[in-house]
Structure 1
Amino acid sequence: MARVWRNEGRGPLYRLYIQRLRRQMPATVPHHVAMMIDGNRRWARQLGFDSAAHGHRAGAAKMHEFLRWCDDLGIKVVSLYLLSNDNLRKRDSRELEDLIEIIAELARELSHEPDWRVQHVGRADDLPPALAEVLREVTDRTRSHTGLHVNLAVGYGGRSEIVDAVRSIIAKHDQRGGSLEELAASLTPEQIGEHLYTGGQADPDLVIRTSGEQRLSDFLLWQSAHSEFYFVEALGPDLREVDFLRAIRDFSARDRRFGQ
Structure 2
Amino acid sequence: TKVLYCESLSNPLLEVADITALAELAKKHNLVLMVDNTFAPLSIAPHQLGADIVLHSLTKFINGSSDTMGGVICGTQELIDQLRNVNDGACMLLGASMDSMRAASILKNLRTLHIRIKQHSHNAMYLAQKFEADGLKTVYPGLKSHPSHELFSRMMNPEYGYGGMLTIDAGNLETANKLMELMQERNLGYLAVSLGFYKTLFSAPGSSTSSEIPLEEQAEMGLTDGLIRFSIGLDNDIKRTYQMMRACMVQIGVLS
Q: Give the TM-score taking structure 2 as reference length.
A: 0.29
Higher RCO structure (Cα 8 Å, ≥6 apart): 1
Q: Give the TM-score taking structure 1 as reference length.
A: 0.29
